[in-house]
Amino acid sequence: MDIVVCVKTNPDLQMVRVKNREAVVEAVPYKLGDLDKNALETAIQLRDAAGGTITAVSVAEGNRKIRETIKEALAMGADSAAVVDDPALAGADPAAVAAVLAAAVKKLPGCDLVLFGEGSTDNYSGQVGPRVAELLGVPQVGFARKVEAVDGAVRCERSMDEMIETLEVALPAAVTVVSEINEPRIPSLMHIMKAKSKPVEEWTLADLGVDAGAVAARREIVSNLAEEQDRKHVLFEGSAAEQADAFVNALIKEGVLGR
């Protein structure tokens, strides 16, 4: 099975500070998205069980140090990578990213399965996977917590509110995965060094036959601010047992417990 994993580079969220409700991303290192690593781990397990290849594909949205971070995907176990970098992508929105990814997947020699994280670690719009599936004209399963290869298809499991749904979808297909699907491997130094010699294709929009006008942002970000949370400063009095009871009752009242 030849698998394409679409990955995005995100600022390391643990290093992002919030100042006046705005994220300060200067000097913050970039890394592969957490959920993208779940998708990559899924691909590695499928390939190791059923054979085939993995290509990691990424689109540069602004200055995201994509060439460095794509090596992380190669170190984890992707066989090759393709990155799309073009000045026209500076303000790309999810629709534009999906259009470019779909064009990139089409340019690759073969693809049975396209995998995504359920959303990106930073903006988490969750749109790109379904949009790419639509553009490629392939069936899509969202939020899979298990993916297995079966003859000419993949069997996916996903958690619904009250039940677990199992779907089988013929290939080619697109699947987005949730974080509980697996624990992504941490690349060893041996694999980091071997990643240096794995092939990385670099494409511009022209290489993909995508017109720069087609990726102009149709979305306008009006504001992007951290949520303000006022602390309630509730103090409970009485014995330890009374305080614990009052605390639990307060959590139930807030809807945190007992839903």
CB of 12 to other proteins, least distance (A): 9
Nearer to other proteins, 23 or 192 (CB): 192
Instruction: Tell me: does residue 75 bind other proteins (CB under 8 A).
Output: yes
Q: How far apart are the first and last CA of the chain?
A: 42
CB of 31 to other proteins, least distance (A): 7
Instruction: Tell me: does residue 186 bind other proteins (CB under 8 A).
Output: yes
Using CB atoms within 10 A of its CB, is residue 23 exposed (0-12), middle (13-18) or buried (19+)?
Answer: middle
What CA–CA distance (Å, rounded) separates 228 from 168? 43
Q: Is 155 helix (H, G, I), strand (E, B) or coil?
A: strand
Outline where DSSP puts E strands in 36-185: 53-59, 80-84, 113-117, 140-144, 146-150, 153-159, 164-170, 173-177
> For other proteins, which residue of 17, 21, 106, 194 counts as binding (CB under 8 A)?
194
Instruction: Tell me: does residue 71 bind other proteins (CB under 8 A).
Output: yes
Using CB atoms within 10 A of its CB, is residue 105 exposed (0-12), middle (13-18) or buried (19+)?
Answer: buried
Q: Is 39 helix (H, G, I), strand (E, B) or coil?
A: helix
What CA–CA distance (Å, rounded) separates 133 from 217? 20
In the block, tokens 């679409």 appear at 6
Task: Candidates 20-28, 104-112, 147-155, 186-194: pick the segment binding other proteins (CB under 8 A).
Answer: 186-194
Phi, psi of 146 (to 5 degrees): -155, 135
Nearer to other proteins, 68 or 168 (CB): 68
> For other proteins, which residue of 190, 234, 235, 240 counts as binding (CB under 8 A)?
190
Instruction: Tell me: does residue 41 bind other proteins (CB under 8 A).
Output: no
Neighbours of 238 (CB within 10 A): 10
CB of 138 to other proteins, least distance (A): 33
Instruction: Tell me: does residue 249 bind other proteins (CB under 8 A).
Output: no
CB of 67 to other proteins, least distance (A): 8
Task: Candidates 101-109, 134-142, 184-192, 237-245: pick the segment binding other proteins (CB under 8 A).
Answer: 184-192
CB of 112 to other proteins, least distance (A): 29
CB of 191 to other proteins, least distance (A): 9
Instruction: Tell me: does residue 166 bind other proteins (CB under 8 A).
Output: no
Positions touching other proteins (CB under 8 A) are 29, 31, 68, 71-72, 75, 186-190, 192-194, 196
